[in-house]
Amino acid sequence: MSSFGCSISRAGLTSINGWKDLAGSISQGTNAAALTYEAYRGTPLKLYYFRHNQTDELHFVYQMQHDWIVGTAVRPHMHVIPMAAPILPQVVSITGKYAWSQPGVAIPADIGWQSYNALLTVNPGDVYKEALIVLPQITPPLNLSSSMILMIYVARSSTDVADTYITAKDHGTPTANLALLSADIHYQAISVGTVSEF
């Protein structure tokens, strides 16, 4: 018996409970905080892009699944594509806040949310390659149940001095230099998922 539930051994191999992906609802900011929506490199596929010269916002809501090992930490992350090759390494800085919701308990005001910061270094050879921006590990509070809801606010701010990824892309909106593919959280499940997280 593992700390995460049952382990099954067969012919010298051990299958342990592992990581699963959880997709949630995503909405973007409004007006000047909205991401730029345009074609990817001349293809018919349109993606959303963070600009380096404005503050763009995303809002995530994830309801935990019933196979979540209640109380174990979760790892939110975004799949992104750097769209411009800097001459030297540059950094994307993501800031935000998160909070949990559960029935019968008031969702806290802003002061009760936990702040975080996540960085992605973009090297000259990283252009057009999928990358991960991994937000900090989130440990839930005590007395949660399997259907709890995690709310996450995400921002890329034009005033963040830690964000140095200002290289312009060579098509579309030049300042829209970071494409968003998707976002999800990794969580540890009672049933078997993948042993490695990434």
- What's the rounded Cα separation, in Å, for the pair 72 and 17? 12
- Percent with pLDDT over 70 in the chain: 86
> Is 1 a domain residue?
no
**121-136, pLDDT tens digit by residue?**
999 999 999 999 999 9
In angstroms, the CA 106 to CA 104 distance is 7
Is 22 contained in some domain? yes
**So what's the pLDDT on residue 62?**
92
Residue 7 lies inside a defined structural domain of this protein: no
Instruction: Say yes or no to pLDDT of 104 above 60.
Output: yes
CATH number, domain of 178, equals 2.60.120
Of residues 143 and 104, which shows the higher confidence score? 104
Q: Is the pLDDT of residue 188 over 90?
A: no
pLDDT at 192: 58
What is the distance in angstroms between the CA of the first residue and the CA of the last residue of the chain?
Answer: 24
pLDDT at 109 over 80: yes
pTM of the model: 0.84
Predicted local distance difference test score (pLDDT) of residue 11: 35
Tally of domains within the chain = 1
**Mean of pLDDT over the chain:** 86
Section 24-48 average pLDDT: 91
What's the domain range around 79? 18-188
Is 196 a member of any domain?
no
Task: Report yes or no on 173 lying in a domain.
Answer: yes
Note whether residue 4 is domain-resident: no
Residue with tokens 């769209």: 83
**pLDDT at position 146:** 66
What is the rounded distance in angstroms from the CA atom of residue 146 to the CA atom of residue 89?
Answer: 41
In three-state form (DSSP H/G/I as H, E/B as E, the rest C), the secondary structure along the chain is: CECCECCEEECCEEECCCEEEECCEEEECCHHHCCEEEECCCCCCEEEEECCCCCEEEEEEEECCCCECCCCCEEEEEEEEECCCCCCCEEEEEEEEEEEECCCCCCCCHHHCEEEEEEEEECHHHCCCCEEEECCCECCCCCCCCCCEEEEEEEECCCCCCCCCCCCCCCCCCCCCEEEEEEEEEEEECCCCECCCC
| Separation of alpha carbons 117 and 175, rounded Å | 22
Over residues 83-100, the pLDDT tens digits come to 999 999 999 999 999 999
